[in-house]
Every structure is written in C-alpha cells, then in structure tokens.
Structure 1
Amino acid sequence: MNAPHLDLVTLQKEVFHHVSNNFQIIQSMIRLVSRDPSVIDVASELEQRIQLLSIAHTAQNCFDSAAIHSIETALPNLILGVQRGGFLLGRQIVQDVSCSPLSVQRTYAVLHVLVEVLRVLNRSTARNIVIALSDDELVVSSDAEPIPLNESTIALTAAFARELGTAPTWSDTGLTLKLR
C-alpha cells in the first residue's frame, strides 16, 4: 500500500503548524517551571524570548499559502505581531525598507536580530523607533536613554548577525548591522 501523497504546500503548512505548536508547548513548560519563585525572573525572560521567536516565525510564514514572506511583508507583520503580543505598546515604530530582495535565510536572520533589539527597546524609555534596512545595513535607532544590554542579548544578536556574515554594533540608543 502506498503512503498518501503530500504536495509541497501541504507539507509546508504542516511544518509551519508543528513549529507553531512547539513554540506553544515550550511556553507552557516555561510557565509550569516559573511557579518556582527561585526561577521566576529567568523563566519570564525565557518565555518572552520564545514568544518573540514565535512572532518572528509567524511574520515570515504565510499559513494560508505556505509561502515565505519577503522582508517587505515580513517586517510589517513582525511589528504588528510584536504589538499584538503586548510589546512596544504606545510607541511609534517607523519602517524604511529600501533593499533588494533577501533570501529566506537572510530574512530569517534580520527578523531575529530585530526581535532581540525590539525586546531590549521594550524595556527602555524609547517612544520612537526607526528601523531602516538598505542593501548595506540594518539600523535600528530610537530616542531611548542608554539601553540596557545583558550577556544573552549580546550573544543572541551576535549569533543571528553571523548568519548575515557580520557583527552588530550597539549604540546607546540602538543597533547598526553592516550587511555584506
């Protein structure tokens, strides 16, 4: 007996669905662990990071058609998802995308760098945030007081920036990433 034939669109939808479910399962497990008062701060930060990764995953993937969004579509989806997720509420976010189309991998890396920067800006005094993406660089700037960075923020941003073949440069109010 032959196995049922799955077309590529159906397979992509299934993968998207399973990844989304995995994010939800991980968040539920973190909530269970966070009942222990000794790990509540770490668990809360981890849950927030997982939620933002899930938002980035959803921003890049279109469930209905199983398509992968371009950066021009994914970036507004990301901002909308971040705000719907309760981050950066009441803050003005301006997007300026003037770059050539990015590969799926580069779009993924850019979105994940942005998720980390936006997570940091969510904890800052920033009221206005500008995201500018050109062929040469990604610049996220804000009107924040000096933004607080921790080791995980620096390490995660650097890891995703390596996918782009570069290293992030943090300033007091944002981040610059030269694109090669």
Structure 2
Amino acid sequence: MKEQKVSHYDGKVNESNTLITNTYRNDELTKISGQKLWKDEDNKYQTRPDLITVELYQNDSKVPLKTQQVKPNKAGEWQFEFEDLPKYDSELNEFKYTLKEVSVKNYTSKVEGTTITNTLTKETEPGKKPKPFLPNTGSLGKRPNRLPKTGEVNDQPFLTALMGLSLITFAGVGIFFRRKN
C-alpha cells in the first residue's frame, strides 16, 4: 500500500501494509504585506522622511519579531512585506501578527490591519514656528493644555478670572481682619 503525498503531512504505512498514519508537519508559512499612506496634503510642507521603520509583532509580544525599513518605490508607493513567517505555533494555534511604526516627527500614526496611515500634526513651513494644524483644512486647531507664553493669548479666560477673583477675595479678607485687630 502506498499513499500519495499530502501537503504538510508525513505519511507512514505500518508493517502489515494495512494502516497509513499521517502526521502533521508544522512547516506552513505565511506572509504579511501592507502599505503606508500619508495624509499631509501631498507633502506640501516637505515633512515626510526618506524612510520609515515598520515593526512586526507576534501574538501581542512587547518585542518586535522583525523590523523593516521602508522607502517609496519608483511610483511613490510605500509598500512592505514580511515573508517566511510561521503560521502556527507548536500546538497548531495560528499566530496573530500585528504591525507598528516607529514614530515619525510631525505625524500621528494609525494602523488598520496592514495599512499604516500617517497624518500631519504640525505645519512646518521654512522660517516659521510650528503650529497646531488640522490636515486638509489649513485651519489652526485647539492649543494643548499648557500655560501661555508671554504675549500669547489666553484661551481659558474663565479660569484666569476665577483665579483673579479668588486673589482679591483673600486680600480683602486679610485686610478686614487686620483692621479689626
């Protein structure tokens, strides 16, 4: 008795030629392909880097399994591929692969499946100080929560008024008790 080969299995016929045993060989491989997209008004401010680094993780590991530097091809497309990855672990559970990108200055990164999208967060025209920027609108966004710099407009007037009123009240109470004594 003889059996035709079965992909990813080792076949063995017993001595009496009556039983065939197939044993699974855990050698299936897979690949992860993806692309990088940019939301930065077609690189209007010349902020895109020459290359990015994509990290591949296996089963939510904290350490990347592989990394790859990605550059645009001649057509300007940013594509990447991780090949020869094991498909199953030793208990035949399928591995879960995820991607992350090493952060890129002036961009926020979002990963959806195998597509990484970077959105411009700051406008960086030559000779100008970076400002908060909303892509595709050209308008300024809200300022982050921080103390204003000298000469900067306060965008929390209620809080400033409340602090001023509190100071005046405490001063008045202090003067009142001082005159009473």
TM-score norm. by structure 2 comes to 0.23
User: Counting helix residues as a fraction of each chain, which structure ranks higher?
Assistant: 1
Structure with bigger strand share is: 2
Structure number with greater CO (CA < 8 Å, separation at least 6) is: 2
Higher Cα Rg: structure 1 or 2? Answer: 2
* TM-score normalised to structure 1 length: 0.24
